[in-house]
Structure 1
Amino acid sequence: MSGALLLAVTACGGGGTGSGGGDGKGGDSGAARSKQSEAVVSISPEDGAKSVDTSGALKVTAAKGRLTEVVVKDAKGRKLDGKISGDGAGWTPSTHLAAATKYTVHAVAEDSEGRTAAEDAGFTTLTPDDTFVGSFTPEDGSKVGVGMPFSIRFTRGITNPKDVEKAIRIRTEPAVDVEGHWFGNDRLDFRPEKYWKPGTKVTVDLNLDGVEGRPGVYGEQTKTIDFTIGRDQVSVVDAKKLTMKVMRDGKVIKTVPVTTGKPGMETWNGQMVISEMLTVTRMNGATVGYGGEYDIKDVPHALRLTNSGTFLHGNYWAGGAFGNYNASHGCIGLRDVRGGWDKKVPAAWFFNHSMIGDVVVVKNSEDRTVDPDNGLNGWNMSWEKWKK
C-alpha cells in the first residue's frame, strides 16, 4: 500500500515540474506571444496630459507597422479630421484643436503579418487667458445683393493671418472660387473674382476656437453662417450727366436724376456696395470733417456706401439741383420729400427696390477712385492684387 502511495505522489510531482510540462501552460504562453503584433503605436501628448497646445502637439505614429485607423473625438463625440501619411507611419490633424477641450485618441496599427496593435489616450487642451472674436457681415440667413463680400473684423490685431484664414471655410452652390484679402491686421474680406451669380448659396464655417491669432491670444468662435445672393442689381451714377441708371440683370429698368458732390467735395468714383439702409438718419458735417456746414436731423431713405460717410440718400432741400448741377458734400442725392412719405419720388422708389449688397458705380467724377477698404468696396482692387 505504501508503494502505491509513493508512486502516486511521484506522478503528481512529475506532472508539475518534469519535461512533460512543455505541453501545458508554458507552451500556450509561447504560442500567444508568437501571435502578438510587432507594431508599436505612439500617441503624443501622453495620456492624461493637460494644457496641451491647440496646434502642433497632437501626433500619432507607428513603428514596425502601418497605421490603419486613428479616431480623435472631443467630449461631445465630434470627430477631428486628420490624415494618415502615405507610408502609414504617422497621422496628423488637418486643423487645429479647440481650446479648453478634452480629447480622446484611439489608434490602430498593423504589422507585416497583418497583426494589429491598438493604443488609447486622452488629454485636455489649454485654457487661454486672452481671446479674440470676429464680428461679421452679412448676417446669418440674409439675402443680399451680388456685390456683397463676406467681411469679418477681429477684436485683436492678427499676427498669424495664415492660421486664421485657414480656419475660415467658404462653400458655395454653385461652386465658385472665393479668395480672402486682409485689410490691415484686423479685417478679412472674402469675394469671388466677379460679382456673385444670383441665387448662389454661400456657407461660411468659422472654426476659430483654438486658433492662435497672435502670441498667447486664441480665437473662441465656432459658427456657421449661411446667406443667399438675390437678384442682380447694379446702378450706375454719372456725375457729369447727373443721372443714375438702375440695371437688373444688365438691363436698365429706370433712370433717375441725381446730384453729386459739388466742386471741392466731389463724390468718389468706383464700385461701392450698399452696406446699411436707414429709412431716416441724422447727418452732421462735424462727423465727417465738414465742421458745422450742415446738421440735418431727418435725412430720408439713406443707403451707406462708405465707412467715411458717403451715402446715396433722399434729399428734400436741394431744390432744382437734381439732374442740373452738383450740390452735395460728396453724397449722391435723389429727390425726396421731408418725412419720406411719398413712395413715388425717386429716393423712395430706389430705397424700396434696393438691398444690402447691391452695387452702385460712380463714374465721371473729378475725384479719385474710392479705397477698397472704405466700406465693402474691394471690387475696386484687381483679382491679382486681391489674392496677394
Structure 2
Amino acid sequence: MRRRTIFATAATAAAGTLLAACKDDPKEVAWSGPSGSPSTSTSPADDDPNAPTLTIAPAPGASVAPNEPVVVTAVNATLQTVTVTTGGKTVAGELDAEKTTWRSTSSLQFGKTYQVKASGVDSAGKPLEQTATFTTLKPSGTASITFQANAMTGLKNGGTYGVGQVVIVKFSKTPTDKKAALAAIKVTSEPQVEGRWYWVDNRTVHYRPEKFWAKGTKVSVAAKLHGVHLGKNVYGAENESISFTIGPARIAIADNATHYMRVTVDGVQVKNIPISMGKNGYVTTADGGRVLFPTRSGTHVVMSRELEHRMTSASYGVTDPKNPNYYDDLIKLCCRISYSGEFVHAAPWSVWAQGKQNVSHGCINIATSNAQWFYDNFRLGDPVIVKGTGRPQLIGDSAGAVWDVAWSKMTPES
C-alpha cells in the first residue's frame, strides 16, 4: 500500500503542490499553514521509509479466497483498534504483545465484502487511521468432508480403534486438484510414524502407516480445507479435525491351508479357532453375472459388530427356496469384514466342517462359543487377514484392502 501524507485541508494540499513544483529541492517545502505562519513539511511518506503508517492486507479492492488472513501492521507506530466487518458481523482477531500486528483468528466467508478500520498512534501520540475494503471470491461449488472408519460408519472423535484402522476422508464433491486436497490434510501421531495416502475412488482417500499402528498410538487429523482451491472453481467448505486412539493389537489370521484362524493379542497367541470359509464355486444371477463363493484373500478389518444380522441369498439374486444355494436366516454374533457381506459369525450348523473344509458362501464360520469370544473381544479396525483362498480382494472390497496396496504405489504426505 502506498504511503501518503494527508494535509489538513484541500487548499493546503494544493498550495504545497504548487510550491513543490517551484523548488529546486523537493525534499523540503515551505508553505503557509492555515494561520498564515511559515512552516515546513517533508515529501510524501512513500519517500520516507521511517514515516509512521498503518498497512492493511488484503489490499484495498482485492478479491481473495476466504482462507486469506486479514493482517494490519503498524510501522513506527502502535495499533489501538482494528475492526473487520461484513453484514453487521465482526471477524475475530488478536493483537500481538508489541501492538504492531493484528491478525484475524476466524475464517472469512465466501462471496462477501469486508470493511477494515484500523486506528493507532505514532511515537508522539499523533492519531493514525486507515481503512480498506476487499471482497472474497464466490466459488461455483464447495466441497465438505467426512472422516470415516469405513463406508458405513464414521470415525468417532475420541474413539478407540484397532491397529488396522485406516483414516478415510470422503469429499462431498470430487477434488480435481488432488495434490491441493492432500496438502491441506495433516495427520500426526504419537509416537510419530510416516503415513501415505491412496485414492480408492475420485472422492475417497485412505491413509495408513507402512505397517499396522502400534498399540496406544494417538492419531490426529486436521483438514484445513476452508478456502482451498480444489480445482475447477470448487473450494473447500470448512476446516475439520478429529483424534482417536489405537487399542490393543488384536489380529486374526484365517488360513485356508489349515482351516484354522490364529488369533494374537499384543503378539501373544490366545486362540486357534477351527473355521470353515467360502466354498469353491459360484452362482449365476438372473442378469447372467457370477457371484463367487470363496472368501477373499487379503487384509480385512472389522467394520461393524451386530448381535444379529439377517443374511439372505436374495442379496445376490437367489430367491428360489429349492435352489441349493438359497438361504434366509437370522445369524448371531456377526463381525463384518467386507462390504459384500463377509462376516466372522456363529455357525453351529457347520461345526462338522470347521477345521476341515470350506462350506460357506463366503463368510468365516466358527462355533458359537468361539463366535461369542470373538464378538466380545474384537473391535472396529482390528485386522482379519485371510490367506490362501485363491481369490484376492480388490481395493473396494473392504476398508482394510488398502493395507494390501504396495507402499511404493501410495502418495507420501506433503
**TM-score calculated relative to the size of structure 2:** 0.68
Q: Give 1:126's aligned residue.
A: 137
> Is residue 2:359 matched to residue 1:331?
no
Is it true that 1:77 corresponds to 2:92 in the alignment?
Answer: yes
Q: CA deviation at 1:251?
A: 1.6
1:94-125 superposed Cα distances (whole Å, 9 cap, x missing partner): xx976357778899xxxxxxxxx997645342
Deviation per residue, 1:225-251 (Å, 9 max, x gap): 110000111111011211111101222
Residues 193 and 48 of structure 1, relative CA distance in 2, 3 Å threshold = same
Contact 1:157 1:214 in 2 (8 A): no
SS at 1:208's partner residue?
coil
Could you tell me which amino acid in structure 1 is paired with residue 185 of structure 2? I
Give the distance between the partners of 2:256 and 2:404, measured in 1 at CA: 18
Q: Report the Cα distance in structure 2 between the residues aligned to 1:361 and 1:98, rounded to whole angstroms.
A: 47
2:41 to 29, 40, 43: 29
SS in 2 for 1:262: coil
Asked if 2 retains the 8 angstrom alpha-carbon contact of 1:170 and 1:203, the reply is yes
Matches of 1:30 and 1:78, distance apart in 2: 35
Task: Tell me, in whole angstroms, the C-alpha distance in 2 between the residues paired with 1:73 and 1:324.
Answer: 73
What letter corresponds to residue 245 of structure 1 in structure 2? R
Find 2:395's aligned residue among 360, 368, 372: 372
Three-state SS of the structure 1 residue aligned to 2:409 is helix
d(CA) in 2 for partners of 1:133, 1:294:
42
- Counterpart residue identity of residue 364, structure 1: G
Amino acid at match of 1:259: S
Matched with 2:382 is: 358
Check 1:35–1:130 CA distance in 2 against 1; reply closer, same or farther (3 A cut).
closer
* Residues 1:381 and 2:405 are matched in the alignment: yes
Aligned to 1:235: 252
Q: CA deviation at 1:267?
A: 1.0
Q: Secondary structure at the match of 2:349?
A: coil
1:44-93 superposed Cα distances (whole Å, 9 cap, x missing partner): 654365x64447x8899x9xx9xxx9x998944257xxxxxxxxxxxxx9
Give the AA of the match of 2:273. V
Residue in structure 2 matched with residue 315 of structure 1 by the alignment: 347
- Tell me the amino acid that sits aligned with residue 281 of structure 1: H
State which of 216, 219, 224 in structure 1 corresponds to 2:241.
224
- Counterpart CA distance in 1 for 2:277 and 2:177 is 42
Structure 2 CA distance, aligned partners of 1:244 and 1:211?
47
Q: Cα deviation per residue 1:268-302 (whole Å; 9 max; x = unaligned)?
A: 11111112222211122232455653443411121
- d(CA) in 1 for partners of 2:331 and 2:366? 11
Counterparts in 2 of 1:286 and 1:153: CA distance versus 1, 3 Å: farther
| Structure 1, 351-360 or 173-182: larger mean CA deviation | 173-182
Which is worse superposed, 199-208 or 306-315? Answer: 306-315
Fraction of identical pairs, as percent: 31
CA 1:214 to 1:198, structure 2 compared with 1: closer, same or farther past 3 Å? Answer: same
- Structure 2 CA distance, aligned partners of 1:193 and 1:118? 56
Aligned 8 A contact 2:276 2:358 in 1:
yes
2:180 alignment counterpart: 163
Q: Is the Cα–Cα contact under 8 Å of residues 154 and 186 in structure 1 kept in the other structure?
A: yes
Instruction: Give the deviation of 1:329 after TM superposition.
Output: 1.0
Q: Are 1:271 and 2:299 matched, yes or no?
A: yes
Give 1:350's aligned amino acid.
Answer: F
Indicate conservation of the 8 Å contact 1:143/1:227, yes or no.
Answer: yes
- How big is the alpha-carbon RMSD for the aligned residues of Structure 1 and Structure 2? 4.1
Partner of residue 196, structure 2: 179
Give the whole-Å Cα distance in 2 for the aligned partners of 1:97 and 1:31. Answer: 38
Q: Which runs of 5+ in 1 are unaligned?
A: 1-18, 80-92, 108-116, 337-344
1:47 aligns with 2:60: yes
Give the conservation status (yes or no) of the 8 Å contact 1:282–1:295.
Answer: no
State the match for 2:25 in structure 1: none
Question: Which amino acid counterpart does residue 348 of structure 2 have in structure 1?
Answer: Y
Judged with a 3 Å threshold, the aligned counterparts in structure 2 of structure 1 residues 355 and 76 are, in CA distance, closer, same or farther, namely farther
Indicate the SS of the match to 1:211.
Answer: coil
Structure 1 residues 124-145: Cα deviation after superposition (integer angstroms, max 9, x where no partner): 4235453332232222111000
Q: What SS does the aligned partner of 2:350 have?
A: coil
- Separation in 1, partners of 2:298, 2:58: 53
The one-letter code matched in structure 2 to 1:242 is: H
- Count matched residues: 332
Q: Supply the distance in 2 between the matched residues of 1:386 and 1:72 (Cα, whole angstroms).
A: 46
SS state of the match for residue 258, structure 2?
coil
SS state at 1:317 partner? helix
C-alpha distance in 2 between matches for 1:125 and 1:347: 57
| 2:21 aligned residue | none
Instruction: Output the amino acid matched with 1:47.
Output: P
Distance 2:59 2:255 in 1: 67
The answer as to whether partners of 2:143 and 2:172 remain within 8 angstroms in 1 is yes
Structure 2 residue ranges without an equivalent (≥5): 1-29, 95-103, 119-127, 149-154, 282-292
After superposition, the Cα gap between the structure-2 partners of 1:215 and 1:303, relative to the gap in structure 1 and judged at 3 Å, is same
- Structure 1 residue 303, shift from structure 2 partner: 1.5
The C-alpha deviation readout for 1:121-174, integer Å capped at 9, x for no partner, is 453423545333223222211100000011022222221111211221212111
1:180–1:188 contact (8 Å) kept in structure 2: yes
What amino acid sits opposite 1:373 in the alignment? G
Q: Aligned partners of 2:275, 2:206: CA distance in 1, in Å?
A: 31
Question: Using a 3 Å threshold, how does the CA distance of structure 1 residues 157 and 26 change in structure 2: closer, same or farther?
Answer: same
* Contact 1:163–1:211, Cα closer than 8 Å, also in 2: yes
Q: Please name the residue that 2:122 is paired with.
A: none
CA contact (8 A) 2:249 2:266 kept: yes
- For the residues of structure 1 that align with 2:113 and 2:349, how far apart are their CA atoms? 64
